[in-house]
Chains A and B, each alone.
Chain A
Amino acid sequence: QSALTQPASVSGSPGQSITISCTGTSSDVGSYNLVSWYQQHPGKAPKLMIYEVSKRPSGVSNRFSGSKSGNTASLTISGLQAEDEADYYCCSYAGSSTPVVFGGGTKLTVL
C-alpha cells in the first residue's frame, strides 16, 4: 500500500487561507469517507483536526475544514494564525488488508 501524496510544504501569511491536498487512489480515499487530518507540532503527538472527510472534533477551530473530490481530499485553513505553523498529515482507511495509510506530511509555514 503506497502512502497518500501530499505537497511537502505550503506557506501563507497571517489572515490568508491555504489548502493542503491529499491524493490517494480508488482503493483508499476514493472509496471511503474515512479521511482524517492531523496537526503535529515539533516534539508533540499528532492531534486530530478533521475526521470522516469534513467533521471537526469538539474544540477544533472552525477555521479548519475538510473536503473530498474523487481520490483527492483537501484540508483548508482560513484566517491563518502563527500557531497554525506545524506539520499536517492526512490519513485514510484503505480496506481490510492494509487498513490505515498516511500521507507523507506537509509543512505549513506562516510567513
Chain B
Amino acid sequence: EVQLVESGGGLVKPGGSLRLSCAASGFTFSSYSMNWVRQAPGKGLEWVSSISSSSSYIYYADSVKGRFTISRDNAKNSLYLQMNSLRAEDTAVYYCARDGAGIAAAGPPDYWGQGTLVTVSS
C-alpha cells in the first residue's frame, strides 16, 4: 500500500524558515518523480514544486521560486521542502504527492499524503 506521511509543519513568524519532510513507503520511491502541492485555508489546490526521480529536474511555482528548495533522499525514501523567507500567504496545508504520469518532469499526482499545516503569523 502506497503511503506518504508529511511532517514538519507548524507556526512560524513571517520571514522565518521551516523544513517539511515526507516519508514514503509501499512503492519504489527512487523510481518516481514527486510533487509538493499546497492548499490555503478555504482555497483551491496550488502546485508548489516537483523533483524528478534522480533529482536531475527540479521545478518551482513562481510564487515560491528563490525561497523554497525541494530535495529528496532516495536512500531514506524521503522528500523534503525547505521553506525560507516565509510570508503570510504561504499559510496552507502542504501535501506530498507522487507523480502519476510517469514522466521525468512529474505530472498530475496519483497518491497524496494527508498534509501538514504551515501557519505563518506573528
List the A residue with the shortest CB-CB distance to B110: A48
Is B107's CB under 8 angstroms from A93's CB? yes
B 50-100 contacts with A by CB, 8 A: 50, 57, 59, 61-62, 95, 100
A89-B113 contact, Cβ under 8 Å, with A45-B95, A99-B105: no
Asked whether B114 is an interface residue with its Cβ less than 8 Å from the other chain, the reply is yes
Is A99's CB under 8 angstroms from B112's CB? no
Is A45's CB under 8 angstroms from B114's CB? yes
Is A51's CB under 8 angstroms from B108's CB? yes
Most buried by B among A48, A97, A103: A48
Asked whether A15 is an interface residue with its Cβ less than 8 Å from the other chain, the reply is no
Interface size on A, residues (CB 8 A): 30
Is A57's CB under 8 angstroms from B110's CB? yes
Is A100's CB under 8 angstroms from B114's CB? no
**Inter-chain contact count A-B, CB under 8 Å?**
78
List the A residue with the shortest CB-CB distance to B113: A45
A100-B113 contact, Cβ under 8 Å, with A89-B45, A105-B44: no
List the B residue with the shortest CB-CB distance to A40: B45
A32-52 toward B: CB 8 Å interface, digit per residue (1/0)? Answer: 001110101000011110011
Set of chain A residues within 8 Å of B107, measured between Cβ atoms: 34, 93, 99-100
Binding site for B on A (CB under 8 A): 1, 3, 34-36, 38, 40, 45-48, 51-52, 57, 87, 89, 91-93, 95-105
The 9 closest A-B pairs by CB, nearest first: A36-B108, A105-B44, A93-B107, A99-B105, A100-B47, A91-B108, A45-B112, A102-B45, A104-B44
